[in-house]
Amino acid sequence: MGGDTTFYFVFAVTPVDDLPVVEVNMLLELDEEAEMALSPNYLQTTDSESENINITYTLDPDSENVWPKNGLIRKSNVPLSSGDTFTQDDIVMGLITYKHDGSMTSADGFIFSVVDEFGHPAEKEDGSILYFFEIGVTALNDNPYFTANTPTELDAWGEVTLSAANISASDEESDNTGIFFNLDAGTILPAAGKIMVDGTAISPGESFSMQDIVDGLVSYKNINDDDVVSDQIIFTITDEDGGMAQDGDFTIFEHKFMITLTGKELFDTAGLNVYPNPGSGVFRVSGLEGVESYEVFSASGQSIRSGMIEQDRELTIDITGEATGIYLLLLKGQGGVVGSYRVVVR
């Protein structure tokens, strides 16, 4: 026999594209209000025929706009919406992040599908092409914060209940029973009165709660021996978990009490009468026996009005051009000052 003894059989192979495979889909954990990148350690899809740049994820492909519920998926800091896409290469480059919105939640996530460069989708064992990426959120204690701090007004020697309209605080995780106003132990304030809680005076270093204010149990009682026109308390605000209210770098706050010394005489001036007080700026003085002159001073000590008084005549003093506030009226006779009044212009 002659000729070739080797023969060849040719097979024709039709290439079939392998589907991409979601190799890694791990829980991403981060703190409340934090932002974190989706690295390949958390989400990775591979494909034997496609480069990372050609493996494409679609966020919420059915456009249900449900997930994420409490945050944003961002690509290069730009928020993504339903139907937007990113690639495996974007994940590798650290361009895809999740930013939590700071709400009180423990979990979030998003729905996605992923395809290769030929448009073939990754499939789960049941044949579905929708995947869910889970995100765990670690709650952090939110600090309480001021919601109102308006001076409280009262008359000298009076007592006033602190209202939530004047002083109040809130906290995302605590109710009113867990928000505390702590009087600063390093001060002697209030200097001209006492803070009362349910009828009992408390001292610097002690506390009352927001619920005490809401229940009308907290009051300020003025003991105005020195005729001061304002008083204050210094305090911190904390919650039941130790969070402390802040304003920038400050954690210590002040609440003022504005005290009206309405018609309070500074001398024994029997027979003298100043009215109306408080008034709009025009005051009358009667009972002027032995009074020869008068002088009015501003709160800063500046003399703004003065004059002589005709014997036994009623005196009218007009300071309507002056600012509202408290003024000092001195009435003088031969022996010097015979009467002194605080007059209030409103």
pLDDT score of 222 = 86
Helix boundaries (H) for the chain: 88-92, 210-214
Number of structural domains in the chain: 3
Same domain, 133 and 182: no
Q: Is the pLDDT of residue 324 over 80?
A: yes
DSSP per residue, 49-75: S--GGG-EEEESTT----SSSSEEEEE
pLDDT at 336 over 80: no
Share of the chain above pLDDT 70, in %: 90
Domain assignment present for residue 2? The answer is no
Measure the CA–CA gap between 218 and 126, rounded to whole angstroms. 64
According to the model, what pLDDT value does residue 224 have?
66
Lowest mean pLDDT among 224-233, 258-267, 287-296: 258-267
Structure tokens at 286: 């009667």
SS3 for 177?
helix
Q: How confident is the model at residue 195 (pLDDT cuts 50, 70, 90)?
A: very high
Q: Give the CATH number for residue 120.
A: 2.60.40.10
- On whether both 237 and 299 belong to a single domain, the answer is no
Q: Is the pLDDT of residue 193 over 50?
A: yes
C-alpha–C-alpha distance, residues 179 and 27, integer Å = 35
Average pLDDT, the chain: 87
Residue 96 resides in a domain: yes
CB 253 within 8 A of CB 245: yes
**96 and 190 co-located in one domain:** no
Do 154 and 119 sit in the same domain of this protein?
Answer: no
Regarding whether 300 and 326 lie in a shared domain, the answer is: yes
Indicate whether 178 belongs to any domain.
yes
Q: State residue 270's pLDDT score.
A: 53
List, for residues 102-157, the tens digit of each pLDDT value: 888 899 999 999 999 999 999 999 999 999 999 999 988 889 999 999 999 988 77
Amino acid at 144: P
**pLDDT at site 268:** 43
Residue 281 in tokens:
């700026």
Residue 305 within a domain: yes
- The confidence band for 16, taking pLDDT boundaries of 50, 70 and 90, is low
Same domain for 62 and 47: yes
Residue type, 29: E
The answer on 192 and 87 residing in a single domain is no
Write the DSSP symbol of residue 95: -
CATH number at residue 167: 2.60.40.1080
Q: Please give the structure tokens belonging to residue 7.
A: 């023969």
- In this structure, the answer to whether residues 187 and 283 fall within a common structural domain is no
The predicted pLDDT at position 266 comes to 42
pLDDT value, residue 334: 75
Residue with structure tokens 């492909």?
61
Residue 328: Cβ within 10 Å count = 16
Structural domain boundaries, residue 46: 21-138
The CB-based long-range contact list for 296-300 (8 Å cut-off, 24+ gap) reads 296/327, 296/328, 296/329, 296/330, 296/343, 297/327, 297/328, 297/330, 298/322, 298/325, 298/327, 299/229, 299/325, 299/326, 299/327, 299/328
User: Among 60-74, 152-166, 175-189, 320-334, whose mean pLDDT is lowest?
Assistant: 320-334
Identify the domain boundary among 116, 138, 160: 138
Cβ–Cβ < 8 Å for 228, 259: yes
Residue 327 has pLDDT above 70, yes or no: yes
Given 121, 138, 155, which residue is the final one in a domain? 138
Q: Tell me if 47 is assigned to some domain.
A: yes
Q: Residues 304, 252: one domain?
A: no
Closest Cα partner for 319 from 341, 339, 290? 341
Q: Supply the pLDDT for residue 225.
A: 56
Per residue in 242-288, pLDDT (tens digit) is: 899 988 878 888 898 887 765 444 444 556 788 888 889 999 888 88
Task: Assess whether 207 and 177 both reside in one domain.
Answer: yes
Of 138, 172, 200, which marks where a domain is finished?
Answer: 138
Q: What is the pLDDT of residues 59-114, one digit of tens each?
A: 999 888 788 999 999 999 999 999 999 999 999 999 999 999 988 889 999 999 99
Judge if 247 and 315 occupy the same domain.
Answer: no
Based on the fold, state whether residues 325 and 291 are members of the same structural domain. yes
pLDDT at 104: 80
Q: Residue 300: what pLDDT?
A: 63
